[in-house]
Chain A
């Protein structure tokens, strides 16, 4: 391993490549995610040695080996729990969890929701390809209903999770979505995730060319993207469609698609990241939840609001008790309050 003489601000993407052979399948969306992470990391202002990746099991979780940072490729579903311990022990570290749809939402579902609730200041990257790839093609908790896979030859009979809805329900303080085929967008979301204090949940739509090819192409292909995807920006109206001629208006609690060439832009829904109620509605632009109407899939930061983070609360409490009671000496702990002498 080389010795680093450069200062951290001079880091380049290459400094974050571990030099291990990357062994994902050709054309895998994970390559793009790796590239975007390595692109944004040099200028996040974090000393390289303070980055830690914790991953679980699955194709996504091999990510850790390819980053020249500290990292632990752990066991299936448990990355969030391990990351909690790392962050509680050393809040200085910039902790990144890498997980897939099975790892995060199936075997690791419990840790996922509790991490969101506890709000450690960590980043959670969910590589969602809606399939189990490392075990070669079984349906996942995000596979669409009816999907034919090796374990569902007649189609799945299960309703899939909507990850952003789940994260919001679990009290996540940052919920965003991006995709492997949109590098610039992903970079901006990754930067926002890093800046956010609290658990930042980023769902990345990731193509599996072998077992679920093209699952998300509608959101990135030129011909369909304008109709199928909507890109959120804080303080801006919800616009989509060819030449942004369609907008979304909120009628009470019901979103309605309007044609702005006829209705104008005055009544459009203005995206407010801090509005949890509206974020919940945006998260539900996922299936035909509103009167059977298909809404465009939202990308960008759906929700971002801050509340105290776990590790700071933990340290604040420690300091508070210290100030009030002071540290108990080991001798006092050993003797307790009641002793007697035998002569």
Chain B
């Protein structure tokens, strides 16, 4: 290593996208998250995209095993993890092969040279062992070859750790180097490492040593002569934290339970990418959160139905395949008219599909995926932090309207993170709960409805209110079993009217960007928010007549949606499915909307969306 003090140029930039890419065992997720944490603490706005294979340890060095973590951070507002990256960290040849196509022309590659030895080249299927770093493939980029493995070993030669543990610290060398490149301090990571390895101080110190070695490598070697400086973003004033969608969902549920004054019960079966919600809630035992890891998906929702019947705020969390298994029980909850929140963190389907990749293809299942006429409110979150507010709303609707509610998230926002100006306890509205305690009138009428068509919630254990409920059709008001044909139709109508009535208690739809009248409306729902917002904002700043409306409430739709849609000449609906919201909108409002589909397990890029919107703008 060269030790002569060199001159380093500092360059101010607005925003940067970095992609950490390596083998599943290289610790790229951790490296990326730590880098993100530091950027967040320094006030950058950001958005992240963890992108990993479904195999826990795919064969080492192969393309199948590449795990990536992308972070977009800046001094301006950031809504997406970025279409293309400025910097690609490639720990091995396979990582370069997978991720080079989305590196910006002229971008920087930091390559771990030992990951490009003959063995790795062969594993990555580079023909004839041709090293991409040595031929024309990378000629359009700035390539920094760093023997990360060697440097890490050198700096830890006296650490007393075994070779395996030393090898494992190489991601910290990389992190140190990247933190130097972006002029960011190491203290946050040091603190993290000391906490993570509290029981193993030797390992903590070794990692910290590797981290410093990486930083010093940037500082002292001639090959790195530029540090990039990204100023803090001008976000609305307040206190911020970084949060992923799954984490926001978990604490949104806790917050809703507290604001409703109810114990929280989660019945769930582990499934990617929803499991983190179960992990997170399991930690909150001291807050009276009961988590029940059920024997299967069906028991997950059924135990939640039981807990709701007994008076808890009950939730089940899952992803597509689990959602399919829960549909019969959702019909029961619809029939019983009890509160229940069903969280579906969508992933690529059908069947096992793409478990770790994102998709929005369960919308029609959420809307219609039950037997019989069984309308259920459906809400969708638009970003990691929006999962908090949306799931809180889902809980409010469930208990205030005595109905199961489906909350849709997806793998992209569930695992992605962003800074969040979190609310305080006092900012959150109370959720009003009313348990029937005694007979109101001459006799108990468990299916007597209030002005919102909502029946009373009656807990077992309430003296004098013993009654039976079940999946068989009920006589209006009494709730007794009834096979009367006219009563059945009446009850179907009442259950539907109850769900429709929710539209009176949700906000009206309005343009998120642009005006309430424009040539082109981009209508979105769920996790496409960031990409659409970025595209539309850019187009607006370029002078185009375009607007963006984003839907959180999909059943029922906001009352004014039809009216609003008719204000626009063209409507385009981008979705990570084959046009599901498109069908709902066209069927309900008879507007000639066009769809724009992407079902690649990947979010839309801003460029893709802009091009598509421009086609309509230029009609």
- Interface flags for A199-213 (1: CB within 8 Å of B; 0: not) read 000000000000000
Evaluate contact between A49 and B468: CB separation under 8 angstroms: no
Q: Does A86 make an interface contact (CB < 8 A)?
A: yes
Q: How distant is the Cα of A299 from the Cα of B85 in the complex, in angstroms?
A: 73
Binds B, one of A34-42, A89-97, A232-240: A89-97
Q: How distant is the Cα of A322 from the Cα of B287 in the complex, in angstroms?
A: 8
Given A333-B251, A340-B40, A68 contacting B460 (CB threshold 8 A): no
Evaluate contact between A65 and B424: CB separation under 8 angstroms: no
Q: Does A81 make an interface contact (CB < 8 A)?
A: yes
Q: Which of A89, A326, A330 contacts B286 (CB 8 A)?
A: A326
Evaluate contact between B299 and A342: CB separation under 8 angstroms: no
Q: How distant is the Cα of A53 from the Cα of B19 in the complex, in angstroms?
A: 56
Q: Note all chain A residues with C-beta closer than 8 A to B307.
A: 85-86, 88-89
Evaluate contact between B470 and A72: CB separation under 8 angstroms: yes
Evaluate contact between A322 and B470: CB separation under 8 angstroms: no
Q: Note all chain A residues with C-beta closer than 8 A to B444.
A: 1
Q: What residue in chain A is nearest B469 (Cβ atoms)? A: A72
Q: Which of A57, A85, A342 contacts B236 (CB 8 A)?
A: A342
Q: How distant is the Cα of A48 from the Cα of B304 in the complex, in angstroms?
A: 24
Evaluate contact between A82 and B460: CB separation under 8 angstroms: no
Q: Note all chain B residues with C-beta closer than 8 A to A50.
A: 460-461
- Interface flags for B67-96 (1: CB within 8 Å of A; 0: not) read 000000000000000000000000000000
Q: Nearest Cβ in chain B — how far from A111, in angstroms? A: 6
Q: Note all chain A residues with C-beta closer than 8 A to B306.
A: 54, 81-89
Binds B, one of A135-143, A175-183, A215-223, A313-321: A313-321
Evaluate contact between B310 and A90: CB separation under 8 angstroms: yes
Q: What residue in chain B is nearest A4 (Cβ atoms)? A: B464
Q: How distant is the Cα of A52 from the Cα of B469 in the complex, in angstroms?
A: 11
Q: How distant is the Cα of A67 from the Cα of B460 in the complex, in angstroms?
A: 14
Q: Nearest Cβ in chain B — how far from A251, in angstroms? A: 39
Given A4-B464, A92-B461, A340-B43, A81 contacting B310 (CB threshold 8 A): no
- Interface flags for A311-343 (1: CB within 8 Å of B; 0: not) read 000100110011011111111011110111111
Q: Does A74 make an interface contact (CB < 8 A)?
A: yes
Q: Does B238 make an interface contact (CB < 8 A)?
A: yes
Q: Note all chain A residues with C-beta closer than 8 A to B235.
A: 342
Q: Does B241 make an interface contact (CB < 8 A)?
A: yes
Evaluate contact between B258 and A330: CB separation under 8 angstroms: yes
Q: Note all chain B residues with C-beta closer than 8 A to A68.
A: 466
Q: Does A284 make an interface contact (CB < 8 A)?
A: no
Contact size range, B = 35 or more
Q: Which of B37, B238, B298 contacts A342 (CB 8 A)?
A: B238
Q: Does B239 make an interface contact (CB < 8 A)?
A: yes
Evaluate contact between B424 and A318: CB separation under 8 angstroms: no
Q: Which of A103-156 contact B (CB under 8 A)?
A: 110-111, 114
Q: Does B207 make an interface contact (CB < 8 A)?
A: no
Q: Note all chain B residues with C-beta closer than 8 A to A49.
A: 460-466
Q: How distant is the Cα of A314 from the Cα of B266 in the complex, in angstroms?
A: 13
Q: Nearest Cβ in chain B — how far from A290, in angstroms? A: 33
Q: Which of A3, A74, A325, A331 contacts B470 (CB 8 A)?
A: A74
Q: How distant is the Cα of A69 from the Cα of B328 in the complex, in angstroms?
A: 25
* Contacts across chains A and B counted by CB atoms under 8 Å: 214
Q: Which of B242, B258, B302 contacts A78 (CB 8 A)?
A: B302
Q: Note all chain B residues with C-beta closer than 8 A to A51.
A: 466
Q: Note all chain A residues with C-beta closer than 8 A to B299.
A: 78, 81, 84, 110-111, 114
- Interface flags for B402-429 (1: CB within 8 Å of A; 0: not) read 0000000000000000000111110000
Q: Which of B230-279 contact A (CB under 8 A)?
A: 232-233, 235-243, 251, 254-255, 258, 263, 265, 267
Given A86-B310, A93-B460, A334-B423, A71 contacting B469 (CB threshold 8 A): yes
- Interface flags for B304-319 (1: CB within 8 Å of A; 0: not) read 1111111110100000
Evaluate contact between A88 and B290: CB separation under 8 angstroms: yes
Contact size range, A = 35 or more
Q: How distant is the Cα of A20 from the Cα of B37 in the complex, in angstroms?
A: 63
Q: Does A187 make an interface contact (CB < 8 A)?
A: no
Q: Which of B238, B243, B309, B332 contacts A86 (CB 8 A)?
A: B309
- Interface flags for A287-322 (1: CB within 8 Å of B; 0: not) read 000000000000000000000000000100110011
Q: Does A64 make an interface contact (CB < 8 A)?
A: yes
Evaluate contact between A88 and B286: CB separation under 8 angstroms: no
Evaluate contact between B312 and A327: CB separation under 8 angstroms: no
Evaluate contact between A73 and B463: CB separation under 8 angstroms: no
Q: How distant is the Cα of A57 from the Cα of B287 in the complex, in angstroms?
A: 36
Evaluate contact between B254 and A65: CB separation under 8 angstroms: no
Evaluate contact between A75 and B332: CB separation under 8 angstroms: yes
Q: Which of A1, A70, A317, A339 contacts B460 (CB 8 A)?
A: A70
Q: Note all chain A residues with C-beta closer than 8 A to B285.
A: 317-318, 321-322
Q: Does A241 make an interface contact (CB < 8 A)?
A: no
Evaluate contact between A52 and B422: CB separation under 8 angstroms: no
Q: How distant is the Cα of A103 from the Cα of B462 in the complex, in angstroms?
A: 29
Evaluate contact between B302 and A328: CB separation under 8 angstroms: no
Evaluate contact between A82 and B255: CB separation under 8 angstroms: no
Q: How distant is the Cα of A65 from the Cα of B480 in the complex, in angstroms?
A: 9
- Interface flags for B464-504 (1: CB within 8 Å of A; 0: not) read 11111111100000001100000000000000000000000
Q: Does B292 make an interface contact (CB < 8 A)?
A: yes
Q: Does B295 make an interface contact (CB < 8 A)?
A: yes
Q: Does A47 make an interface contact (CB < 8 A)?
A: yes
Q: Note all chain B residues with C-beta closer than 8 A to A244.
A: none
Q: How distant is the Cα of A82 from the Cα of B292 in the complex, in angstroms?
A: 12
Q: Which of B255, B310, B469 contacts A334 (CB 8 A)?
A: B255
Q: Does B41 make an interface contact (CB < 8 A)?
A: yes
Q: Does B296 make an interface contact (CB < 8 A)?
A: yes
Q: What residue in chain A is nearest B480 (Cβ atoms)? A: A20
Q: Note all chain B residues with C-beta closer than 8 A to A329.
A: 425
Given A74-B471, A86-B310, A81 contacting B303 (CB threshold 8 A): yes
Q: Note all chain B residues with C-beta closer than 8 A to A89.
A: 263, 265, 290, 306-307, 310-312, 314
Q: Nearest Cβ in chain B — how far from A89, in angstroms? A: 4
Q: Note all chain A residues with C-beta closer than 8 A to B242.
A: 338
Q: Note all chain B residues with C-beta closer than 8 A to A71.
A: 467-470
Evaluate contact between B425 and A334: CB separation under 8 angstroms: yes
Q: Does A195 make an interface contact (CB < 8 A)?
A: no
Evaluate contact between B303 and A85: CB separation under 8 angstroms: yes
- Interface flags for A258-285 (1: CB within 8 Å of B; 0: not) read 0000000000000000000000000000
The 10 tightest CB contacts between A and B, nearest first, are A85-B306, A73-B470, A85-B303, A81-B302, A70-B460, A89-B310, A81-B299, A114-B295, A85-B307, A82-B306
- Given A68-B466, A90-B459, 20 extra CB contacts under 8 A: A3-B464, A49-B464, A64-B468, A74-B470, A84-B292, A85-B292, A85-B305, A89-B314, A93-B460, A114-B295, A314-B290, A324-B286, A326-B286, A328-B284, A330-B258, A334-B423, A335-B241, A341-B238, A342-B237, A343-B237
